[in-house]
Amino acid sequence: MAGKPPLRVLLCAPRGFCAGVVRAIDAVERALVLYGPPVYVRHEIVHNKYVVEGLKAKGAVFVEELGEVPAGTRAPVIFSAHGVPKSVPEDAASRNFFAIDATCPLVTKVHREATVHYKKGHEVVLIGHAGHPEVIGTMGQLPPGAVSLVETAEQARHFTPRDPENLAYTTQTTLSIDDTAEIVAILKERFPAMVAPHKEDICYATTNRQEAVKKVARQVDAMIVVGAPNSSNSQRLREAAEREGCPNAALVQRAGDIDWSVFGAIASLAVTAGASAPEILVEEIIDAFAERFDVEVETVHTVEEDVFFPLPRQLRPDAA
């Protein structure tokens, strides 16, 4: 259509759903098929309003605490992908709930690491963001006071362990690769004996999406990260774009949230999506730009992903 200014759109790949998010959403949908509504879900199954509202429409009921689930219910109660403290499954068992754990296996790996370190007598340092459900879940694997949370490089410089020769660290799975590397470097310099994870805790999807953003950040006038404000990995994508020199990076949930005073006069745009953002929202945002611009979309691939996690045991076909 004549009159539209041209816009080159670089679409980051990989982007969007990771294997842990796919597994968690599939777990809720599978439970709804097998057992019918309602299916109770503790906390947002993943941090995306569109996904949560879609599951609500199918019969999922989201609660923050198990006390909100009706006593004596036989409906499944699902724990979110972010993981939960040990006290939550114990509480579910005491209430005789049919509990299904949809914790991402990569988060479960961090839980196990923290537990092993603790059993070996290490003081456990967790690098992560206070108040995030994943951090609450990891810290909740161990007794109060057993885990020390370090959020920033500044905190790492001033952290005082009980025994500097007996430290181990784990990290939240959705952190900034660069920020975490800086924090780890500071801790290792101060405490050379500190034990590292056997394998990097920051998950493959977080790493891959940040690397894709870094590749395109300097090639465009602006970047949109499709994701929710409470999504840690989505916020880290926005920060990565800014750090790499993108003049304007914004976290946007839906097309209706685009600030056209900022994005209305650009010649190039990169688009990516956090690990809990569905592809339909990416398409919605590109469509919104296509109404205002003559859009040419180019996909920028950095790595192929083929990770798959099977459903929780109770929801697999052989469980019946």
Other beta carbons less than 10 A from residue 90's beta carbon: 10
Q: Give the CA dihedral 18, 21, 25, 26, nearest 10 degrees.
A: 60
With a CB cutoff of 8 Å and minimum separation 6, the contacts of 25 are: 17, 45, 46, 51, 55
Active-site residue flag, 291: no
Of the candidates 159, 204, 199, 206, the one whose C-alpha atom is nearest the C-alpha of residue 179 is 206
Extract long-range pairs of 94-98: CB within 8 Å, 24+ residues apart: 95/66, 95/69, 95/71, 96/72, 97/66, 97/69, 97/73, 98/74, 98/314
**Amino acid identity, position 21:** V
Of the residues 134, 165, 211, 283, which is catalytic?
134
The amino acid sitting at 49 is K
Exposure class string for 180-204: b at 16+ Cβ within 10 A, else e? beebbebbeebbeebbebeeebbbb
The closest of 109, 99, 95 to 203, measured between CA atoms, is 109
The candidate with the shortest Cα–Cα distance to 150, out of 172, 133, 173, 166, is 172
Give residue for tokens 């600030």.
Answer: 259
Q: What's the rounded Cα separation, in Å, for the pair 242 and 151?
A: 20
Q: What angle do CA 11, 177, 202 make, to 5 degrees?
A: 95
Per-residue tokens: 117: 């370190």
C-alpha of 270 from chain center: 20
Q: Which residues are catalytic?
A: 134
